[in-house]
């Protein structure tokens, strides 16, 4: 009895506070609405302000994202039509104390994103201009441009650029992480093509950065950009078509039983002291074939050159018996849409209960990948509601990437040969346990990643889950420089929803 009355007392005491919190939240929402719709803001007439209740279609268009797992939540969305309006919204957020998240292609997925509650979505998708300067071999793109937007305009000018493997992520979103992809052996990281940016700071001021102007900021943007400001436009060096711009796509589905033969071949290119030739990239996806209830893997190899040559160079790959084989030669323009059996639109499908947990491999060993396959078979059987989970093993050549000095940009993993991404997809309640299992899988991979100095675990910032140590994401050597940049450009930690960097380190 006595404890019950204590409970009742406690509830009576708490009630006004809880009600208060609710009222405060409602007030804040009403305030935010008033702040954003104030006519004195003088926003561009093309700038769209949307709320989930009053203009849900526009709000949905401005906030729809690839992953809905650990996603941020918003009270309102703003889709600025001009760079000035981006600055205005950032200044307003400072003045009125609301949080915001700038987004380009909305393919971010990191556990820190759900620290953003009832904030403002700063949707940059309307800043989508693309200017190609053929003479100067330069491309200038706005923050709303996604990778697949580039293929047509650049091809028409006889030019190309290194990109990620899918068509849907934002160009600048990928660049500020660094951008790994198939042409890394020939041209380097996407960020290596960057010549200059226009960025809006936490104070709402426009700054430029390049190798000549604000060069330290420019260094940090290429690897940790999301922490430092909002890049509204970026200029890149682009290249004449490599070998006439012809690529050979080789796609396969293999039965799980051939994994040893396949991984032996993959590892023969990427053991210690070995390198995948600059013209070859190899993406492998382990998956559970739901109809046949068996483990299989898909392989997409791309060869920068004509089919005849590709068949010769990759003869050993072609000897492995496959369930399905598809080999086509395509111009660069069609590479992304064609590769992986043309599944790009499927991979890019939004609103998925999915996330990514990654790890870099400095060297690749066949037995490590075979064990990975074994552990996944156990996982698929153990978690039927997460059976759509896949594992991506992305192997990219890195000759051009390594040709830059290590401190060329804030990307610390130039020597990584393979990026593994565990991609949990959840359909039911096992998510937390399945995640724990996959953390175990990642730890096992760490044992043989050859990044001993990081306890085996290092991860490309854009494949990070957010539960890694800062050193494992940004590299121990880079952190003092990054912290100094953070202290200078974002001392109040406005940009804190992507693996936040502290303002002092150590
Ligand atoms: C299907 C898929 C395929 C991928 N393939 C590759 C690949 O091949 N290579 C590769 O390197 N990466 C790849 N990624 C990872 C990709 O680099 C990141 O997801 C990246 O963050 C996507 O950028 P976005 O603009 O689409 O995402 P968003 O969610 O819009 O942005 C991610 C974060 O970056 C910040 N940001 C976005 N725009 C800006 C800006 N203009 N200025 C400053 N900060 C900004 C924001 O803080 C935001 O939270 C892939 C991701 C997915 C989902
Ligand atoms: C990619 O890296 C950039 C730069 O730090 C960051 O904005 C973005 O959130 C990262 N993406 C993911 C998926 O972690
Ligand atoms: C992977 O290859 C190994 C070695 O041949 C084999 O023992 C294992 O069963 C294979 N895995 C699958 C899922 O078939
Ligand atoms: C599943 O396996 C069967 C038999 O090997 C194959 O025909 C089918 O294409 C596979 N499914 C996928 C999605 O690869």
Model's pTM, two decimal places? Answer: 0.94
CB 238 within 8 A of CB 137: yes
10 Å CB burial of residue 163 (0-12, 13-18, 19+) is buried
Query: Quick one: pLDDT at residue 4?
Result: 52
Of the listed ligands, the closest to the CA of 251 is: 4
Beta carbons within 10 angstroms of residue 437's beta carbon: 21
Query: Quick one: pLDDT at residue 153?
Result: 98
Please work out whether the CB of residue 291 comes within 6 Å of at least one atom of ligand 4. yes
Three-state DSSP string of 52-79: CCCCHHHHHHHHCCCECCCCCCEEEEEE
HSE value, Cβ hemisphere, 13 Å, CA-based, for 383: 25
| 3-class SS of residue 203 | coil
Query: Quick one: pLDDT at residue 176?
Result: 97
Which protein residue's CA is at the shortest distance from atom 8 of ligand 3? 257
Query: Quick one: pLDDT at residue 1?
Result: 40
Structure tokens at 451: 């990044």
Distance 107 CA to ligand 1 centre (A): 5
Average pLDDT of the residues of the chain: 94
Ligand 3: which of 253, 258, 259, 380 to mutate, most ligand atoms within 8 Å of CB? Answer: 259
Residues with Cβ within 8 Å of residue 100, at least 6 apart in sequence? 89, 90, 93, 119, 120, 121, 122
pLDDT digits (tens, 9 = 90+) for 428-473: 888 999 999 999 999 999 999 999 999 999 999 999 999 999 999 9
What residues of the chain score a pLDDT lower than 70? 1-27
Ligand 3: which of 253, 254, 255, 256 to mutate, most ligand atoms within 8 Å of CB? Answer: 256
pLDDT digits (tens, 9 = 90+) for 39-88: 999 999 999 999 999 999 999 999 999 999 989 999 999 999 999 999 99
Of the listed ligands, the closest to the CA of 325 is: 4
Ligand 3: which of 374, 377, 379, 381 to mutate, most ligand atoms within 8 Å of CB? Answer: 374
Residues with Cβ within 8 Å of residue 236, at least 6 apart in sequence? 138, 139, 140, 141, 161, 193, 194, 195
C-alpha closest to that of 221 among 20, 35, 34, 489: 489
């Amino acid at each position: 009895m006595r404890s019950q009355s204590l409970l009742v007392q406690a509830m009576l005491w708490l009630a006004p506070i809880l009600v208060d919190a609710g009222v405060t939240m409602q007030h804040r929402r009403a305030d935010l609405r008033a702040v954003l719709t104030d006519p004195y803001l003088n926003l561009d007439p093309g700038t769209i302000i949307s709320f989930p209740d009053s203009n849900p279609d526009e709000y949905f268009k401005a906030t729809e994202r690839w992953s809905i797992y650990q996603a941020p939540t918003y009270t309102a969305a703003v889709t600025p039509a001009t760079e000035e309006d981006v600055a205005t919204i950032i200044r307003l957020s400072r003045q009125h104390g609301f949080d915001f998240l700038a987004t380009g292609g909305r393919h971010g997925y990191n556990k820190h994103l759900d620290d953003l509650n009832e904030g403002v979505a700063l949707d940059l998708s309307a800043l989508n201009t693309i200017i190609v300067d053929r003479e100067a071999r330069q491309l200038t793109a706005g923050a709303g441009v996604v990778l697949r937007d580039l293929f047509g305009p650049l091809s028409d000018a006889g030019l190309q650029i290194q990109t990620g493997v899918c068509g849907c992520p934002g160009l600048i979103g990928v660049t500020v992480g660094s951008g790994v992809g198939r042409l890394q052996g020939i041209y380097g990281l996407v960020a290596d093509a960057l010549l200059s940016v226009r960025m809006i700071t936490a104070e709402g001021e426009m700054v430029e950065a390049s190798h000549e102007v604000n060069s330290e900021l420019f260094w940090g943007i290429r690897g940790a950009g999301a922490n430092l400001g909002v890049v509204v436009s970026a200029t890149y060096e682009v290249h004449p078509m490599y070998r006439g711009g012809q690529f050979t796509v080789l796609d396969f589905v293999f039965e799980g039983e051939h994994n040893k033969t396949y991984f032996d071949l993959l590892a023969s290119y990427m053991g210690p002291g070995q390198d995948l030739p600059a013209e070859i990239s190899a993406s492998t996806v382990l998956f559970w074939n739901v109809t046949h209830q068996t483990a299989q893997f898909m392989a997409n190899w791309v060869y920068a050159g004509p089919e005849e040559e590709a068949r010769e160079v990759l003869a050993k790959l072609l000897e492995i018996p496959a369930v399905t084989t598809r080999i086509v030669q395509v111009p660069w323009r069609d590479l992304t849409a064609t590769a992986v059996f043309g599944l790009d639109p499927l991979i890019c499908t939004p609103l998925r209960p999915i996330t990514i947990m990654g790890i870099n491999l400095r060297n690749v060993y066949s037995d490590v990948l075979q064990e990975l396959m074994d552990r996944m078979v156990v996982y698929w059987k153990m978690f039927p509601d997460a059976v759509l989970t896949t594992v991506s093993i992305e192997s990219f050549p890195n000759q051009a990437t390594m040709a830059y000095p290590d401190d060329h940009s804030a990307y610390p993993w130039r020597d990584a040969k393979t990026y593994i991404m565990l991609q949990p997809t959840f359909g039911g309640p096992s998510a937390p346990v399945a995640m724990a299992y996959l953390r175990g899988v990642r730890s096992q991979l760490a044992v043989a990643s050859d990044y001993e100095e990081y306890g085996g675990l290092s991860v490309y910032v854009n494949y990070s889950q957010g539960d890694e140590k800062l050193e494992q994401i940004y590299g121990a050597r880079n952190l003092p420089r990054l912290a100094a940049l953070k202290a200078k450009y974002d001392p109040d930690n406005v940009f804190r929803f992507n693996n936040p960097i502290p303002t002092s380190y150590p």
